[in-house]
Amino acid sequence: MSTDYRTERDSLGDVRVPAEALYGAQTQRAKDNFPVSDLRFSRRFIAALGHVKQAAAHANHDLGRLDAETADAIAEAAREVIYGAHDDEFVVDIFQTGSGTSTNMNANEVIANRASEMMGETRGSKAVHPNDDVNMSQSSNDTIPTTMHVAARMGLERDLLPALEALHDALAAKAEAFDDVLKSGRTHLMDATPVRLGQEFGGYAAQIQHATQRLERASQRLSEVTLGGTATGTGLNCPDGFPETALQHLTNATGLSFYETNNHFAQQAGKELYLDAHGALNTLATALLKIANDLRHLSSGPTSGLGEIKLPVIQPGSSIMPGKVNPVQSEQVMMVAAQVTGNHQTITMANTHGNFELNVMMPVMAHAMLQSIDLLANSIDAFRTKCVEGIEADRERCRELLELNPSIATALNTAIGYDQASTVAKTAAAERQSVRKVVKSMNLLSDAELDEYLDVRRMTEPGVPGDA
């Protein structure tokens, strides 16, 4: 960046701003005031903020408050923001004023200066004014929370939900392919009654389906936004018709529905809809962790673990142990899940600071939400393509472990009673023999009765062994 500067003035006085910068005095102050981290708002948030500013410009023109030339210039500058032309101009740290005013003004100044240039004026001239024109009919206190909802919906609908649908389909395909694979069930990490490998994968698919449904509902609820509440929820300086007009423009531009809340006080100070939406992400994260960890255990080995499934080999697993291969995709999913649950705690804590008419932790809430959405979408895509779709069943190993599973004796409860069946199970475990062999050695049942009661496939379905 050049060392040349221009001088701009805000309500506190003169500020030196890099000559070529599209941002202005208030952004420069925020940049200087908050040297806290290297975290900035994501591409998704900036695009959403551009959409809100563009919709506001169109609405203010429709209502006769902004002339056509100025409105068109603002809308075109906002369009450039939407498509990423000025991302390097959004320089304010996530950890800033809790209303997000610094970032709102960052957008206002970038758009105002770019619009001024389009109208033949210079940067810093305020020919298009960042407050009077770009921020017309708005406040940071309704613009930022609206942008939070818009950005979250864009991420959910365009990235995460499609990723979940593809993962569900991949798991469902494995459930079908593995439906004939009989294996040991496990509870408490201990051998339990038989299941089919396809049933396990069907359970995983159902978990993803349920997570998808929760997120679809959460996304729809985020359609309710605060635009029109201005500073405290009263709508001061917001003309009649602005919210619905602006939100119709926003809906048309994004392809996602948005409508004005019926209580700005609740939505500007309380972020329960946002917290609820991230709650669905948090629930998804725990489901993904369970699935990924199951696959990690099921593939453990090759000689000392379960080894019931084989995961795709995608990279060497050790810097010192030759030939070792690790379940790396499961592990990245588990780490993403840990980060998402941490983000949920952040949003939960932040939502407790909706003091009076404004929540003062909105930037960190937005950052946490969008990070969770992006991490989950990217993680799921990698997990599906590089792991799930390539999983194979080790049928021989499943059969081997199942034959030694003492919990098969559960099917004998109705024939020989719980106590006798317990003796059989303990003996089978101690002697590492099959339940069938132990029962035969004890002369408890005939071969025909054993065939009836120890039909493993039937054990994986509802019913009582021995019943006709």
What residues are labeled active site? 188, 318
**Beta-carbon count within 10 A of 346 CB:** 18
User: Cis omega (within 30 of 0) on the bond before 302?
Assistant: yes
Helices (H), 255-271: 264-269
The pairing of beta strand 13-18 with beta strand 5-10? antiparallel
Q: CA dist 22 to 69, 96, 274, 288, Å? A: 20, 20, 31, 43
The tokens 């690790």 sit on which residue? Answer: 326
25 contacts 9 by C-beta, under 8 angstroms: yes
The pairing of beta strand 182-187 with beta strand 190-196? antiparallel
Long-range interactions of 2-11: CB distance < 8 A, separation 24+? 6/123, 6/124, 8/124
Q: How far apart are CA 417 and CA 397, in angstroms?
A: 30
Give bridge partners of residue 187 from the DSSP assignment: 190
3-state secondary structure 327-367: CHHHHHHHHHHHHHHHHHHHHHHHHCCEECCEECCHHHHHH
Nearby residues of 394 by Cβ (< 8 Å), 6 or more positions away: 307, 308, 309, 310
**Beta-carbon count within 10 A of 168 CB:** 20
Nearby residues of 138 by Cβ (< 8 Å), 6 or more positions away: 56, 227, 230, 238
| Residue 118 token pair | 């389009």
> What type of residue is 314?
I
| Residue 82 token pair | 């939407």
425 contacts 401 by C-beta, under 8 angstroms: no
Q: How far apart are CA 193 and CA 460, in angstroms?
A: 8
Cα 216 from chain centroid (whole Å): 12
388 contacts 309 by C-beta, under 8 angstroms: no
Nearest CA to 198 out of 182, 184, 178, 183 is that of 178
Q: Is 375 helix (H, G, I), strand (E, B) or coil?
A: helix
Handedness of CA 37, 42, 46, 52 (dihedral sign): negative
Q: How far apart are CA 405 and CA 194, in angstroms?
A: 8
